[in-house]
Structure 1
Amino acid sequence: MLRVLIHPASVTGLGALLIAVLMALYPGQALASAARGLSIWWEVLFPALFPFFVLSELLLGFGIVHFFGRILDPLMRPLFRLPGIGGFVVTMGYVSGYPVGARLTAQLWEQKLVNRAEGERLVAFTTTSDPIFLIGAVSVGFFHNVALAPLLAAAHYGGAFLLGLLMRFHDPHAPASEGVRGRLITPPPHADGVSGTGALAGSRRRSRLYEAIKAMHEARLLDGRGLGKLLQDSIQSALRLMMVVGGLVVFFSVVMEMLTRVGFVEGLAEVVRLVFGIFGLPGQLGDAAVFGLFEVTLGARAAGEAGTGLMHQAAIAAWVLSWGGLSVHAQVASLLSRTDLRYKPLLIARLVHAFLAMALVYVLWGWLAP
């Protein structure tokens, strides 16, 4: 009986029943929190993410991703044990923020350009905040200090880079996928009489460029859709994804409000304050950590308003940004649900990234302190 009750499915079901009861007890507060979540989605997330979702679909259809995959292959494999095509995901993930990296990784998996181990490595260190949110919302909006942005960016993205290096040891016995290399034809022969190191290096660069262009051309032919059809499909796919993201944001906004009403959030915050006190951190930051555990925006705002000293506030903000909040975790998990990529490696990676970024704030404070 006890084993049945503590099964994850049973716990989730009981949690959902509890939230439903609380919504019946606090209907006004549930409606107001849902409206706040909808406002965040419509005013912030939709304009920030929708263009990137459409663009990513277009770039895949035109074969641009395959071009960069072949060019970046010599860099990505030795550093991260990933095919070069992962470099495009890294760039787009860092520029556009979560959950774009997970979306692109799922697409690469569906096209058999990455396997499960590589996809899990890729999602682990491309689930990051976007620079606009880090600078505009957190540094300027919550901390009212734009000079804090370089420190937060160095800690957040530097922690992601270190995490990528660590993730190369994830699933060490998994075979490497061919990426786009297995789909290329043989490059053209080089001219006779070419000799010397410089000439050989130039020849190799030309060969790699030719292979990259050929990969892009073959991917475009394989897709086969015209511009109008490709644009229509991209917009429809992006809209479906934005509806999922919006639903999760509204849902977690209601969950946070209901848990706050019954005192769960305050009780958890008190426990975190005690833990922070043991490690010499200001107890007031416990609220920011608890809010950030569920939702990154609420946690970052609470960190900016804590008033416990800028260094500690920046450290907990870096933790929140790198953890991402359970709302982001749910978005990523929903995107990966159609693949065989597992959630557990992502969960561990988010924790490691959070503490790496937090530690980097203290390490870099002497050089980048505002």
Structure 2
Amino acid sequence: MTGKARRSMTIFLAVVVVFLTISLVLYPEQAFQAGTDGLKVFWDAVFPSLLPFFILSEVMLGLGVVNALGVILEPLMRPLFSVPGAGAFALSMGLAAGYPMDAVITAKFRRNKLCSRIEGERLLAFTNTADPLFMFGSVAVGMFKSPSLGMLLAIAHYISAFLVGFSFKFYGRRTERKEREEESFTRETRTDKKGRMFSRAILELIKAREEDGRTLGKLLGDAVNDSIKTLFMICGFIIFFAVLIRVLTEVGFTSLLSYPLHSLFALLGIDPHLIGPTLSGIFEIDIGASQASQVAAPMVQKFLIVSAIIAWSGLSVHGQVASVLTGTDIRMFPYIMARMFHAVLAAILTVVFYNLGFGNELAHTFFLPTLWSGVTPTSAHWLVSWTALKNWADLLGITIGLSLLVYVGSRFRRRAPSSR
């Protein structure tokens, strides 16, 4: 960015901030109510579901567990997505706990030299997913009163995320080769890959633990302290964007933003009543999805918009991601491009699977236990945390099993010619 462009951007941002500040003064009651609603969302759903994962991730990194998992999961993650095996840890955490868990883990990987910059950007591109708890509990049951919708949204969301991951496998190949010549990025590249997988995994665990050097008490204390700090940062973003959307709506700014969407929605045959929820979803995922569930529009179009909003994840989440990436060289532009691609793919697949009849009433029990039927995530904090942890354990177990199958298969193929 040139000096002139930078000055223009500074002036523009200053005008925007002054405008928003004046708007808050003019609409204090609406801003206060929006802030209260945002805080409730954080306390009822975000805090109890993310806190255990934040603490666990810190402890597992300090103990070297993630490094050991990187060795075990390398046979699966490297061929599929061109990322280190430890990327499966970020993937499972993101799938179970939702955003911005993946960004927190990816930033830690980069700081600990467990991935290169390009690998971090690839990883962030497809691990930024909503958790099943949100899609099945908050959206399907809480907003649409339809548990069967959860499976439709989940299938479209996760398949499209993996397609984004496959696509980004080829991203940054030339830059990556240059970077590898300048720096040793991963512990796997510095470790002799000869020997059995589990032996190498144990060696990596011991090496990482020795390099960390903190006592267990110090490690737990740092984990809790860092987790609370990150969560309150997330809380601030949720409240700020909740207030921002409400104020922009009160001053009529969202109506101006809606004009470009009228032509696009008319071209695609989408009900214009969904323009408002789409705009809200661009800023904040919960608000946009909730508004989409309440408008009078064809059901499949409401599902399409909600699916795209969930994949996009909202500027509020993007702000959280940018904040946790501070101090790393991972860039936001590839992440934003991936979110747009994910949103388009998720919307298309939602329509396809809806027309194929996906979303029966029993399917939602695949991710959530039967005790979740008819229960929203805000009804019990312990249930939110327990379900998220169970999902993570299941997902990580399945991933490890797949990686072991790939590893055993590759060893068998290497030995096959010698037995002839």
Q: 1:67: how far off?
A: 1.2
Counterpart of 1:309 in structure 2 is 298
Matches within 5 A, 1:1-370: 7-173=8-174, 174-175=176-177, 178-184=185-191, 207-365=196-354, 366-370=356-360
Instruction: After superposition, give the CA deviation of every residue in 1:286-315 in whole Å (9 maximum; x if it has no partner).
Output: 122111000000111112122322211111
Q: Partners in 1 of 2:9 and 2:51 — Cα distance?
A: 33
Paired residues, what number? 351
Q: Partners in 2 of 1:160 and 1:186 — Cα distance?
A: 30
CA contact (8 A) 2:116 2:186 kept: no
SS of residue paired to 1:79 = helix
Counterpart of 2:373 in structure 1 is none
CA contact (8 A) 1:183 1:215 kept: no
Q: 1:247: how far off?
A: 1.0
**CA distance 1:124–1:186, change in 2 (3 Å):** closer
Q: Partners in 2 of 1:141 and 1:6 — Cα distance?
A: 46
Q: Partners in 1 of 2:317 and 2:141 — Cα distance?
A: 22
Q: Partners in 2 of 1:54 and 1:273 — Cα distance?
A: 45
Q: Partners in 2 of 1:249 and 1:8 — Cα distance?
A: 25
CA contact (8 A) 2:113 2:187 kept: no
Letter of the structure 2 residue corresponding to residue 368 of structure 1: F
Q: Which runs of 4+ in 1 moved over 6 A?
A: none
Letter of the structure 2 residue corresponding to residue 88 of structure 1: F
Q: 1:10: how far off?
A: 2.7
SS of residue paired to 1:284 = helix
Letter of the structure 2 residue corresponding to residue 226 of structure 1: T
Letter of the structure 2 residue corresponding to residue 97 of structure 1: G
Higher mean displacement: 79-88 or 30-39: 30-39
Q: Partners in 2 of 1:345 and 1:254 — Cα distance?
A: 28
Higher mean displacement: 60-69 or 29-38: 29-38
**CA distance 1:186–1:332, change in 2 (3 Å):** closer
Q: Partners in 1 of 2:86 and 2:106 — Cα distance?
A: 10
Higher mean displacement: 229-238 or 164-173: 164-173
CA RMSD of aligned residues (A): 1.8
After TM superposition, the score normalised by the length of structure 1 is 0.90
**CA distance 1:346–1:5, change in 2 (3 Å):** closer
Instruction: After superposition, give the CA deviation of every residue in 1:220-269 in whole Å (9 maximum; x if it has no partner).
Output: 12112222111100000001101111111111111111101111113323
Q: 1:187: how far off?
A: 5.2
Letter of the structure 1 residue corresponding to residue 160 of structure 2: G
SS of residue paired to 1:7 = helix
Q: 1:167: how far off?
A: 0.8
Q: Partners in 1 of 2:287 and 2:328 — Cα distance?
A: 30
CA contact (8 A) 1:184 1:214 kept: no
Q: 1:109: how far off?
A: 0.4
**CA distance 1:263–1:5, change in 2 (3 Å):** farther
Letter of the structure 1 residue corresponding to residue 191 of structure 2: L
Letter of the structure 2 residue corresponding to residue 274 of structure 1: S
Counterpart of 1:201 in structure 2 is none
Q: Partners in 2 of 1:96 and 1:33 — Cα distance?
A: 25
After TM superposition, the score normalised by the length of structure 2 is 0.80
CA contact (8 A) 1:54 1:234 kept: yes
Counterpart of 1:199 in structure 2 is none
Q: 1:31: how far off?
A: 2.1
Q: 1:5: how far off?
A: 8.7
Give the unaligned 5+ runs of structure 2. 361-420
Q: Partners in 1 of 2:5 and 2:203 — Cα distance?
A: 56
User: Which of 1 and 2 has higher RCO (CA within 8 Å, sep 6+)?
Assistant: 2
Q: Partners in 1 of 2:169 and 2:281 — Cα distance?
A: 28
CA contact (8 A) 2:150 2:359 kept: no
SS of residue paired to 1:368 = coil
Counterpart of 1:198 in structure 2 is none
Letter of the structure 1 residue corresponding to residue 358 of structure 2: L
Give the unaligned 5+ runs of structure 1. 189-206
